[in-house]
Structure 1
Amino acid sequence: MAETDIPVRFLRISAFGINSGGGLVLLKALLEGSGDDLRSIEIDERVSASQVGVPGGTATRSVRRSFAARIFSSIRAARDAREDDVLLCFNSLPPLVRSRARVVTYVHAPHFVGAHAGIRYTAITRLRLFIERAWFRFAIGHSDEVWVQTPTMAHSFHRLYPTVTVRVVPLLDGALHRMVSSMDDARVGSAGATPLWSDKAFFYPADTVGHKNHVNLLRAWALLHDDGHDAQLWLTLDSGELDAMLAQAGLARERVGSVRALGRLSRDDVLARMSASSALIFPSIAETFGLPMLEATALHKPVLASERDFVRDVCQPAQTFDPTSPYSIAHAVTRFVEGEGPLPGPFLSAAAFRAKLLS
């Protein structure tokens, strides 16, 4: 296709409900520098067009703080959009009806993936969250893509909505983008040689009692294997026990790479194996003491352990993680092997974000 044949897209934004905090900062960043490609915007009545930087001449509608007004706004924005438009639902709520436009829902509220569970809210806030989540479940099929800010949000969405196309597209305002870019430049400049994962061996002496948490540890090793990181994992399980743990984790044997079932070891063999390892990994969820962590410390071996109070009762861990999250365990192992490294990124400027929207 010749450059002159590239279709021109226009942007429409639905932003009711965005009136403070990080959402307002990002909305201002998105609108800064917007020009002829912005066709219309629906903004919250609590902010003005000049406050968020809506370009002059843009069709702007102020939406009242009521669900009726927001429902009407959502339907209007979807029906007004044309085939050459991108409708960006910047308030996390997909349109209630289908649109001819390409629809992208940008989600930056955690309750849509259940991350609010266990948090106490006022009655009116609980009602609002309930309605918004019901809206989201009903309307998510009207969105072509969901964009989120972090891989953690993306993983949560894949679990709840496996058929939805999800992209990680973190938007930063100009000042923060410049600061983060300078941090990345400094870290890349000081990076050393790439470590050899195959030289690393992590030891976990534990039986199959549930709180020992082998299932999440094996899921973490599968994530590392998927990323091409095949450090060894030594477990004091026999082959049958390892197969049972893999079945509970929903994993085939080849998914976990270099995992070895050593069987039951004597105390002397445990200490010898600990001495030969690169580190003790200890994902247990509950302990009264945690003897292996003290043994590793006495042998001058690093400890990677759950972020739990009982861990710090007996050692000073080199890395900690959330034992309920395979991603957290895998990230801790990566930090131990590779160091902190650059920020995960890439983080997008407003200009890059708009370019990705309209491409």
Structure 2
Amino acid sequence: MILIDALYINNGGGRVLLEYLIDELLLSQKNVTYLLDSRMQSSFRNIENSTIIFMKASLYNRYKFYKSNKATFSTVLCFADLAPNINIDAKVYTYFHQALYLKIPKDVPLKTTCIFKLKGLVFKYLLKNTNYLIVQSKSIKENLNSVFCLPEDKMLVIPFYPLIFKHTETIRVPNSFIYIANADPHKNHIRLINAFCKFYSEYGYGTLTLTVSSNYPAILKIIVTKQLEGFPLINIGFIDRSELNKYYSSATYLIYPSLCESFGLPLIEAIENGCKIIASDMEYVYAVCEPSITFDPMDELSIFEAMCSANGNAKASILKTNNQIHQLMTLLN
């Protein structure tokens, strides 16, 4: 029997990948048990021919689960960075997607830095309980090897992601920028907003579409203030994935100033929908694509200058990765 342990997944890109994996497992008709965060109960109450266990996400609850099911499963995929709390009688794969365990940007608040350093220590301690780590790119594999001294043959590079197909009915708006991301500190919204406002003040055209939800009141306040000042910031809030293609297909550029990513799924989605990529000059970007223009994400002026450089003349971006979901599925037996 297969266990998919996604106890620490409840939103963001991790949830997108989890939902995609579940869809593929349903098609495969494998015998699967899912361990899920209780906050996901309304979305995953019924998964056909599967056992679903919901619980509050905590190290203690997870420890009790593995203690009681030490010999229950033949294959385990831990889908949120952390290997099982104890050594179990199964082949264990751990999907790693939290790049903040590897390097925390300087701009991240002290409290957040302390939290991720502590989580990184837990991650390192539990590594002994997994057979393999699965990562989305070679750059993450190299960084894991550098930071945690992991053997290369214990890390598998298997990128996978659901496709979003182009929304053919939408007209692309000239000089339109979009940033698909939550507003955690490392996502770098403040520098982007300031750079765009400078761009608009200089040229008098352009729009910036953001996806900042009510979970980030400080960033929302900045957006509203800039809107009242006359800047064309469009915040669509949390958007269902089924509607994303409409927004990608109407934008000219995906602008991506994030300071840290394990994969950067919007980069892939945007290229598939015809956007050009203006992004941080960082490893995670080059791992998945050849961007049209890059900038220093720590420098508002550099972001502004990248927008100016685009101005209708940017080359097309090129995707460098591909979906390997079937390779992942072959491991789960």
TM-score (norm 1): 0.46
TM-score (norm 2): 0.49
Q: Which has the higher contact order (CA 8 A, sep 6+)?
A: 2
